[in-house]
Chains A and B, each alone.
Chain A
């Protein structure tokens, strides 16, 4: 080839083409989505508007859960767990009870770092907080993180025991102690208990906060 201007223009425009088409157009089309109410109402002039006073979704991330998200990032959880639910009839995500509806672009707008993931060595976590809730959920997560074999025998998830401390029971047992059954091979020696570090607590709060329990106008939860 001798036509160098053509070569250089071609090299430039081929990438400019996809940069414009994929990155910039995405940014323009859905890079400015805002929070909304679960349903919209007709304002009487044929316009659909948000219902005043209704709560806005998706929720803003914050508090301890946000610190927990940092732990999730530091541990590289994303490399085995996705956070996206595919639509009914495309895969078995909904059949498995991983969530009540498919996730859509707006579900992610309040997240500073989006952790969609591309691998499911373990199950999807987009709605893990909806599947395991409250104190029972918290207890399950701590046992599972301390050693996945306790709750899920045969799992290949690594234990995160380094997020927990083994301590001698001094007087009353700690209310935070992980409730491993005494007959379990992973139970601490009598007189000792396993307590979560702040990071483990934050991580569990994050997992509990991952919930798709709200509708969006474009993605309602159908009964």
Chain B
């Protein structure tokens, strides 16, 4: 705890009673207002589009004749369009909005030439629209996590670099000496992602490497999109939001350091666990398994650090929309990572590999952890951007409960169904007919579709609340204090 004052001082400027510092902050917020709102609006559009695509794909797995008359809506394309809409449309736009903003605030440097950021962001979304239209049209590459056709990727790469540069520039012109833990994560991710993306594009699409070197590169990349892009962005966001909302410094500086470096070191070796049992040298797989198990260290360290920061303030935290989402995300980070480490063990992987269990795991990580923390970020950020409060606590509660219950239901359904599927697939004696195994997954596929509808309801509630706040300024009555979530709170809509 000896480092606590240092950590506190790194946060201090932002909750400072000093009016000039607060003015500086609102100047930073203003410099990012247009571009951030653009990114969040885009993210919400992608979120809704991605959820609809997901539902189409989910329904097809139990009603194969649904939307089957055209090749445009066949399962492989709907599923891939969904993945890219969510990861690159929702995820990246969210990151561009929330993480750039947190970065600028922590660096205490306002963003110059915000207009250029807006142009880069527009190109990102144009490139992505082109790419997803390409997937649906049939130009899909069938390389997992890199489905976007070649004609759209350069646009994405260039606009990403432009946006990334803004994050780095904010850091370059920072004030103050201390660099806070969120900034380490953001800087790391901003640097790692383009490296991963360019290497993967080059070695799989532009100048394909020979044979299964492609597959190894593919999973080095794809797993690191989660591990070195989405994860650090969400963890950095949580590290910023938890102390801000609770007004309490992060529990331990040393745990922050240990958590960051062990994540940076181990996560990027873990991806090979997607090829366990596959036609690649065993030493590679062993390295992937070891790294996956070593991930327990950063996960436990971050869990302790976050938990000890929140401990004793759970009740207050629960009232804050931001904290509710962030705590849900942080708890699920611990859970999903420990499950992930277990899944990498050869004996466990033998059952889970090639099944819906893995699909459940991917959604657990990308949604219950990453997306939920990003939602928390938006709930924190918007009132400060617009100087307005969230119009409806009811819609926030709907968003939270529909998404929280929906995603947990989905993970349970896919992991129980997937586990049984795996056991049956490995048992050729009692389940000689593959079709029987397929039929046995059907109830779980139906539950998954139900969970998808719940998520859609949650997302629509979020979208309504957001656009209500954004466009109906005059009709949102001026509130006394922030919108909190409390059952008996008067004035809650």
Contact = CB atoms under 8 A, between A and B. Distances in A.
Q: Are A and B physically bound partners?
A: yes
Interface of B: 60-62, 64-65, 68-71, 74-77, 79-80, 138-144, 177-179, 181, 184, 187-188, 191-192, 195-196, 199, 203-204, 208-217, 220, 228, 257, 261, 264-265, 268-269, 271-272, 274-275, 277-281, 284, 287, 350, 353-356, 358-359, 425-429, 432, 434-435, 438-439, 441-442, 445
A26 B280 contact: yes
A221 interface: no
Which secondary structure dominates chain B's binding surface?
Answer: helix
22 contacts: A1-B179, A2-B177, A12-B191, A15-B191, A15-B195, A17-B268, A22-B271, A26-B281, A33-B211, A76-B76, A76-B77, A76-B79, A84-B277, A84-B279, A96-B432, A104-B279, A108-B211, A116-B278, A119-B359, A120-B354, A158-B68, A162-B69
Interface string A4-34: 1001101110110111011100110111110
A127 B297 CA distance: 41
Contact of B208 (A78, A79, A112, A116): A112
A59 interface: no
Interface string A72-113: 111111111010101100111001100000111111110111
Contacts of B79: 76, 79
Interface residues of A, number: 74
A45 B355 CA distance: 49
Nearest to A19: B199
A108 B208 CA distance: 13
Contacts of A8: 187
Nearest to A18: B268
Contacts of B68: 158-159, 161
Nearest to B179: A1
Q: Which of B143, B196, B277 has the most CB of A within 10 A?
A: B277
Contact of B61 (A4, A23, A114, A156): A156
Given A22-B272, A76-B77, A80-B75, A27 B187 contact: no
Contacts of B261: 10, 14
B76 A114 contact: no
Interface stretch (A48-56, A147-155, A171-179, A187-195): A147-155
A62 interface: no
A8 B70 CA distance: 50
A120 B425 contact: yes
Nearest to B358: A118
Contacts of B277: 84, 86-87, 90-91
Given A31-B209, A120-B355, A11 B279 contact: no
B232 to A, nearest CB: 10
Contacts of A66: none
A102 B279 contact: yes
A199 B145 CA distance: 26
The dominant DSSP class at the A interface is loop
Given A11-B264, A92-B428, A113-B214, A74 B138 contact: yes
Interface in A159-203: 159-163
A38 B434 CA distance: 31
Contacts of A107: 279
Nearest to B208: A112
A4 B179 CA distance: 8
Contact of B268 (A14, A96, A106, A120): A14
A220 interface: no
A132 interface: no
Contacts of B428: 92, 95-96
Q: Which 4 residue pairs are nearest across A and B when measured between Cβ atoms?
A: A76-B76, A95-B428, A120-B354, A18-B268
Contacts of B143: 113
A123 B433 CA distance: 10
B140 A7 contact: no
Contacts of B279: 84, 102-105, 107-108, 116
Contact of A11 (B60, B144, B188, B215): B188
Given A27-B209, A31-B209, A116 B426 contact: no
B210 A156 contact: no
Contacts of B356: 121
